[in-house]
Amino acid sequence: YLRFMNVDHDVKMMVRGILLKQFELIRRDPYANAFRNDGSVFERKFEIDSLIYPFWLADQYYQITSDDSIFDAFFLMSLRKALVTLENERQHSDDNYRVSNSSDLENSSPYFNPDSGLIWSGYRPSDDVTYYKFFIPGNMFAVSIMAKMSSLLTHLNLDPLLANSCLILSNEVRQAIETYGVYLHPKYGKIYAFEVNGVTSNVNSSEGKLLMDVANIPSLISAPWLNYCDVNSETYQNTRAFALSDDNDYYYEGTYAKGIGDPHDSISGLENPHKHYPVVWPMAIAMQGLTSTSNIEIDQCIEYLINLTAGTYVMHEAVNANDPNEYSRDYFTWPCALFAELYYLRHFQN
């Protein structure tokens, strides 16, 4: 919808209202990932992306509309709150936030290096608990958007100290990613890890590094879309080759499509991963297309996505690639939007 804000006032006001509400909720509780309609906290699973997406949207809003009226004192309060939270989680303490669910604790490693410079995250974008506590795609997203916030504040002549603090965090976390978040894979070369414990900076060691990629965004394959790196970056292209191969436990191939799935799989009922039961996520296939430099690959992704609608004309969450009639979520807006963006860019902007 964003591209239509300048031609449809209602769309612009809808997005503006969403932003104002999101800023308010960040001020209420920056660790929450979901709220009820009355503003009370529904769920408190700290995910980096939950804190970052509103500022991504704010940047998109301004770049398209040039409306700076949302960048008021309340916006600055929200950004400061987010920045303080991110800085605190670079030196994580259970006094600020802790994973309290017993089963989640059993499925995550308690060991991490609090001096790595990376941002600690309790959960992934899927709401699943992180195994190693430094979720690299989330850190990438923070790097990108804090740099954008610094540029935005400077452009608008707002709070130079806050702008500088955003830029410092962005630069330091980027350095930490490139130090602790990479692995020299014997087959693919240097790639980004999905999660790390931040203990070893030895690029030749896979110890304390989770090597995979999954569907929910931010993901490793989405790094250029997040504006963390150039799509032609060697490390990114190596990572992409790994993620879109059988060496990634969550890459599946079926009769109607192939692509990346996710441990947050609600249709197979099987222990993850399950190569014999190829559950792919349209969200990941759309992102594969959005980060591709090949029109052939993009067209293939679009074909896969159409195949997976099962005649419903909408995107779903997870789909059996051997039987598209088996899926979760009748109508999942997130991949619907990504498909629309992919199709628009391919056929109207080439």
What is the rounded CA–CA span in Å between residue 28 and residue 46?
Answer: 14
* Residues 235 and 191 sit within 8 Å (Cβ to Cβ): yes
CA distances from 12 to 22, 55, 65, 291 (A): 15, 16, 8, 27
- At 290, list the tokens: 């959005």
What is the rounded CA–CA span in Å between residue 289 and residue 259?
Answer: 11
> Residues of 222-258 as b/e, b for ≥16 C-beta within 10 angstroms?
bbbbbbbbeeeeebbbbbbbbbbeeebbbbbebebbb
CA 244 to chain CA mean position, Å? 17
- Under 8 Å CB-to-CB from 23, ≥6 apart: which residues? 54, 74, 75, 78
What is the tens place of the pLDDT at every residue in 108-143?
A: 999 999 999 999 999 999 999 999 999 999 999 999
Three-state DSSP at 20 gives helix
Please report, in tens digits, the pLDDT of each residue of the chain (350 residues total): 899 999 999 999 999 999 999 999 999 999 999 999 999 999 999 999 999 999 999 999 999 999 999 999 999 999 999 999 999 999 999 999 999 899 999 999 999 999 999 999 999 999 999 999 999 999 999 999 999 999 999 999 999 999 999 999 999 999 999 999 999 999 999 999 999 999 999 999 999 999 999 999 999 999 999 999 999 999 999 999 999 999 999 999 999 999 999 998 878 788 888 999 999 999 999 999 999 999 999 999 999 999 999 999 999 999 999 999 999 999 999 999 999 999 999 998 76
User: What does pTM read for this prediction?
Assistant: 0.97
Domains of the chain with CATH codes: 2-211 (1.50.10.10), 247-350 (no CATH)
* CA atoms in the 13 A half-sphere facing the CB of 185: 25
